[in-house]
A and B are shown apart, each in its own frame.
Chain A
Amino acid sequence: MFSRVLIANRGEIAVRIARTCRELGIEPVMIHSTADAGSAALRYAEDVVCVGGDRAAGSYLYIPNVIEAALRSGADAIHPGYGFLSEDPYFAEICEDNDLTFIGPSPQVMEKVGSKAVTRELMAAAGLPLLPGTRDAVATVEQAHAIAADIGYPLVIKAVAGGGGRGITMVRRREDLSDAYRTTRATALATFRDSNVYIERYLDHARHIEVQVLCDAHGNGVHLGERDCSVQRRHQKLVEEAPSPAVGPQLRSTLGPLAVRGALSIGYRGVGTMEFLLDDEGNAWFMEMNGRIQVEHPVTEMVTGVDLVREQILVAAGHPLTARQDDLTPRGHSIECRVNAEDPDRDFAPTPGRLTVFEPPAGPWTRVDTHCTAGSTIPPYYDSLIAKVIVWAPDRAQAIARMKRALAEFHVEGPGIATTIGLHQRIMDAPEFVDGTVHLDFLSTFAQPSLPESRPA
């Protein structure tokens, strides 16, 4: 087992990883930028190293400093968390070159998973259902039109190297396709340094269902059930739950093994997620694979009793899986709300600054993953996630009641600080959410009572 693990991340996930490290008897080392020098997250580390300036490019993403920090602090392994370097095959390779175990899949598998077009091809070969669309990147606008004529509208143009909801353009009409194609390629080049795009049929009124898989380095794989992440704003998840109200035991018993088969077919190792779109006929279509721990992993942990970070570390240390598929039936219901320091009344503008009051909820089956405390400063340079509130209850109705109670206890204040707590409270009350019928278009049409009404001139 590793004696020291360097956590190449920040914020709530750094704390999350450090905690499981401690439980395994591993000393956590944390890196930080100058902007995060006062972060309360650092208190959970045995050792800390400043790796650069405020901008992520010069610190959390600056590979030479991250590697040196690991070598100088005596770390055996690096946990990349999510975002940052977690899906960078080059970084995984450099870890290997420096005899540091990268906690995640191999660089070669990462390359495959990182290309949407390649994963579509490989998953189709493994028997996963795909929406009509291209397997290869679309090279010209003429090709785009030809494909569109074949698969029909609405369709979506997606960056091959994309992620985090960026580099995606939806097209409803043929007249808009050429412009959308060119714009998406330009965005992809600027954001991901790869202008390749692929095209896929777009499903109106679908739900985002993702299956958690766990594979070891010995060819074993299990699934831990699905999550429903249909409450999204601009492709960013806000609320997640497990299990999905739209997935019954039969679909779960089909989708789970399919997800495992797909992961094992590409030699996946560690925790991973297979994303699907579920249409109203109950068909699930493979979208993409995520080769890292995800923000919303806690809801799966709550319904299965499995510590996913612990499993990641054990797999990376070479242990075979001990969990058996029969033991992994989800029990009860879990919901997570992502609390961001953003103002929903000002188009979710981020509100960095100092927290004078930070009182998170607690109580029965109420979990809060955070790095913040009263006195913390939220820097403007990174994402705006300040806490995840997660609840578990024996059934979905009780889970909603528990989340509402927890959100009401959550007090956050600071000069200029706003949060999405109020928005989450309104979502918990929304009829579609209570009925479990939320689809991906839910939040964009969700009434915001505090917005002023616009009247025609």
Chain B
Amino acid sequence: MSAEKRSNEPAGDLGSLTDHAVDLVGRLPGHVNRVRVASGGSEIEVEWASAAPPAAAVAPAAPSVTPPPAGVPAADAAPPQATAEAGAQAGLVSVSSPVVGVFYDRPSPDDPPFVAVGDRVSVGEQVAIVEAMKLMNPILADVAGEVVAIRAAAGEAVQFDQPLIDIRPLEG
């Protein structure tokens, strides 16, 4: 599924576009596959991962390999899923999942989320839950700083080390 938004306002320079793109990805619900932010004539396009099996993200691609001899399949046999990019952008710290389980952004469906993009968090502050084996594992911020992106959606299956919340650490 995708959405487009057009505007007549002139967009800024490349750096500003990048900021917009990162901001978008952080604010949008669901697992975003691709974002397109144009400039002249303005344009925003978002593509989400398909809604198919609640499978966890695929591992980063194998290192480049020569075509193997008989027996090993070609690269197009790789699992067809959304990629979860490993580390965050430079300067950001990702709080990643310590377990395999289900991500929740709030204590219960009726509560507000633990954090939103733009919030300041302190070290050790709870930012999410990953439920595993009926246990609600609290996810705590490793660093103090500003929440820049929430990279998983409530109810999404997450795997070990999957980035959940991106934080820009405070200076000093």
Residues of chain A whose beta carbon lies under 8 Å from any beta carbon of chain B:
29, 32, 34, 37-40, 42-53, 59, 64-69, 72-74, 358-360, 362, 368, 370, 373-377
Q: Which of B105-113, B118-126, B158-166 touches A?
A: B158-166
Instruction: Give the secondary structure class of A's interface.
Output: mixed
Q: Which of B58, B62, B73, B157 contacts A39 (CB 8 A)?
A: B62
CB neighbours of A53 from chain B (8 A): 160-161
The CA-CA distance from A64 to B102 in the complex, in Å, is 13
Is there contact, CB below 8 Å, between A68 and B65? no
Q: Which of B19-27, B36-44, B75-83, B142-150 touches A?
A: B75-83
The CA-CA distance from A46 to B78 in the complex, in Å, is 7
CB neighbours of B102 from chain A (8 A): 72
CB neighbours of B61 from chain A (8 A): 38
Is there contact, CB below 8 Å, between A48 and B72? no
B14 within 8 A of A: no
Residue of A nearest to B133 (CB): A64
Residue of B nearest to A45 (CB): B79
Is there contact, CB below 8 Å, between B72 and A73? no
The CA-CA distance from A65 to B161 in the complex, in Å, is 12
Is there contact, CB below 8 Å, between B62 and A43? yes
Residue of B nearest to A4 (CB): B53
Known: A68-B132, A74-B53. 11 other contacts (CB 8 A): A32-B59, A34-B161, A43-B78, A49-B160, A50-B160, A50-B161, A51-B159, A72-B56, A370-B71, A374-B66, A376-B62
CB neighbours of A370 from chain B (8 A): 71
Knowing A50-B159, A64-B132, A72-B102, the reply to whether A377 touches B79 (Cβ < 8 A) is no
Most buried by A among B60, B77, B79: B79
Q: Which of A38, A67, A359 contacts B60 (CB 8 A)?
A: A38
Is there contact, CB below 8 Å, between A52 and B160? yes
The CA-CA distance from A359 to B101 in the complex, in Å, is 39
Q: Which of B53, B65, B101 contacts A40 (CB 8 A)?
A: B65
Is there contact, CB below 8 Å, between A42 and B63? no
B68 within 8 A of A: yes
Is there contact, CB below 8 Å, between B59 and A65? no
Residue of B nearest to A70 (CB): B100
The CA-CA distance from A37 to B161 in the complex, in Å, is 11
The CA-CA distance from A69 to B68 in the complex, in Å, is 29
Residue of A nearest to B76 (CB): A43
CB neighbours of A376 from chain B (8 A): 62, 65
Q: Which 3 A-B pairs have the closest CB atoms?
A: A375-B65, A72-B157, A68-B100
Most buried by A among B53, B54, B102, B162: B53
